[in-house]
Amino acid sequence: MTDTAPTSSKPRVGVVGFIGWGNFGDELFMLVHRQFLSADFDVDLLHDRFEKPYFSRPVAEVVDEVDAVVIGGGDLVIPWQLSELYWRRELLERPVFLTGIGVPRWGGYSRAVVDTMKEFIQHPNVRYIGVRDEPSRDWVQRHLQPKIEIDCAPDIVCSLDLPAVQPTDERILGVVTRKRRNEGDDFLWLERLCEKAARLDYRIHHLVLGTGGTGAADEAVEAEFRFPGKQTVRTDDLLELCRAVGRCTALASMKFHGSVVAAMYGVPSLVLSPTDKNRNFMNMIDRPELLSNLSDPHLPDRFSPYLPRIPRQTRDWLRETSTAAMLRLVESIRQEVGAVRPHRVP
């Protein structure tokens, strides 16, 4: 927060997360925070830099200017790696609320890292813990042993007010790739999938689901996938990216939130990177058959013009359950900091 002068009598909420780097899902998290919190609170990112040390001023000084800290969402409980952004003790000088948290499991386990997160989460100023799936809840409960109840609900992006999409008879297969560290991906089976879709009169839309620097890196990967006749969608407008997903008949996505947004539009999404969060989400909506892999030679076989859409009942459950959790978060913050901030108004 660079402007330290209060602009209203609302309490100030500082948000901490992997937000600002342009990753699709993380930027959507900020839209969700504003959607639910802005009526009662002034909401802004707590960090103002996107490289270490992430803050241009002393962290304690920045934290002193807010009334509450929200951490989340995303895979922020990383058992083998401690972020210098999310788990700073200075944040605990204010009531802290963790929301939409996931636990990736693929990278190992460090006792020192877990012990540090455990000490943080057990602090009395941690007033709310929300996780996005049952495996994450079970891991947090077992390894971090919080002193308060864990709220478990689908990913908070399921509660986002998505823009409407006009129906069309055009059949579109959306493709989402991404830049991955230290990996040069082979798109052979994705190309075969697109060839099959093209034979079935699908248009191929390559969606660059990233903005800013992340979007530029993802666009470079998109350029490596030279499928003839494809249409590339590249914009820094997050809602337009959501519309691009919603226009698809089916999606094949390396990005988790590509699949989440697709599900909320009813669009079936073949998962090209079967991470923990993708597996947990597809199991949650009872669609494990959509899990695949970029290197799976059977990937083209998984695509069919008869792929069932995500049922309305499932989408309603995702939205209602995620929304209820966000409203519980709002109420928790209200109980801690109230509705006004008279002690900070000159």
Report pLDDT digits (tens) over 85-105.
999 999 999 999 999 999 999
Please tell me which residue, 345 or 140, carries the higher pLDDT value.
Answer: 140
pLDDT band per the 50, 70, 90 thresholds, residue 182: low
Tell me how far apart the 2 most distant CA atoms of the chain are, in Å. Answer: 68
Task: Provide mean pLDDT across the span 284-295.
Answer: 97
**pLDDT computed for residue 16 by the predictor:** 97
**pLDDT computed for residue 180 by the predictor:** 81
In the predicted structure, residue 7 carries a pLDDT above the cut 60: no
- d(CA 205, CA 195) in angstroms, rounded, equals 13
Q: Could you tell me if 159 and 36 are in contact, meaning their C-beta atoms sit under 8 angstroms apart? A: yes
Record: fold of 172-304: Rossmann fold (3.40.50)
In the predicted structure, residue 343 carries a pLDDT above the cut 70: no
Record: fold of 12-159+319-341: Rossmann fold (3.40.50)
Q: Which residues in 226-306 belong to E strands, given as ranges?
A: 231-233, 250-253, 269-271
**pLDDT computed for residue 9 by the predictor:** 85
Q: What percent of the chain has pLDDT over 90?
A: 91
Residue whose structure tokens are 């913050």: 333
With CA atoms as reference, report the closest residue to 4 among 90, 65, 68.
65
Task: Provide mean pLDDT across the span 301-309.
Answer: 96
Average pLDDT, the chain: 94
Task: Provide mean pLDDT across the span 220-237.
Answer: 96
pLDDT band per the 50, 70, 90 thresholds, residue 243: very high
In the predicted structure, residue 3 carries a pLDDT above the cut 60: no
Extents of the domains making up the chain? 12-159+319-341, 172-304
pLDDT band per the 50, 70, 90 thresholds, residue 345: very low
**pLDDT computed for residue 183 by the predictor:** 63
What is the pTM assigned to this prediction?
0.94
For 96, list phi and psi in degrees, rounded to 5.
Answer: -115, 135
Q: Could you tell me if 165 and 243 are in contact, meaning their C-beta atoms sit under 8 angstroms apart? A: yes
Q: Is the fold of 12-159+319-341 the same as that of 172-304?
A: yes
